[in-house]
Amino acid sequence: MKKALTLLLCLGAFGLFAQVDLEVSVTEYKTGKPLAGQIVQLSNPAIGYAAEKTTGELGKALFSGLNLSGEYTVTVPENADYQTSAKAGIALRSNTNAGVMLVLFPKSELLLDEVTVLGASRINIFNAEVSSELKQKEIESLPLEGRDLTRILYRLPNVVQATGFYPEAPNVSINGSNALFTNYMVDGMDNNERFLGGMKFNIPVGFAKNINVLTNNFSSEYGLTGNGVVNIT
């Protein structure tokens, strides 16, 4: 009974730890100026989450303590001055406070009936962090040797297979550095084997929602490496 209670408490604490913030910026289409007093709605049907905030003087609304499960949708509903604007499919990852920018079109503007975006790349405009990621769909669809998550990392830039000097040596080298100094994390928590290097606990493929590899200019909050960080969500 005591063991079960301890396990439940640990899982609860882990869920609380794996939370991030989302900052929504609202700007005007023509001038690019921030818009204050705009209602911003955030929803995540997968976990039954819904919240609403109003932008401040800088045109920003901050949603704190968000769960990593599911995908979020941000919406600024139509009002007397502006058309509605929305962004869906926002997936959050641990140890990273995400940002979304919504552009509002004045009602006097002529808009197309429908615009379909088939593909788009995300650009980091918040810091100088150099990173790359694999999303759940890519993890599930790409061929993976032995269902070992570390093998899929070779497809990312600045990541190569390491040549260890003992059988249990870690197999991932970032920026050509010693594989022993790669920092492994799960939902922002430490997952490093201190003696042999590499992951302490191997994560099953089906449990991974996102794999993010930080290769340069990442925050000092990560620590434990001068090499790179592998963060599995």
pLDDT in tens, 66-75: 988 888 999 9
Q: 178-210 in b/e burial notation, b at 16+ Cβ within 10 A?
A: ebbbbbbbbbbeebbeeeebbbeeebeeeebbb
HEC string of 175-206? CCCCHHHEEEEECCEECECCCCCCECCCCCHH
Q: Please check whether residues 84 and 165 belong to one and the same domain.
A: no
Full-model pTM: 0.68
Q: Is residue 115 part of a domain?
A: no
120 part of a folded domain: no
Domain that holds residue 26: 18-104
Residues 208 and 141 in one domain: yes
Return the CA Rg of the chain.
21
Asked if the structure places residue 121 within a domain, the reply is no
In a domain, 64, yes or no: yes
Which tens digit of pLDDT belongs to each residue from 125-177? 667 788 888 888 888 888 888 888 888 999 899 999 988 778 788 889 999 88
- Other Cβ atoms within 10 Å of 119 Cβ, number: 4
Task: Give the residue from 88, 104, 120 where a domain finishes.
Answer: 104
Count of structural domains, the chain: 2
pLDDT digits (tens, 9 = 90+) for 65-106: 898 888 899 999 999 889 999 999 888 877 777 889 999 998
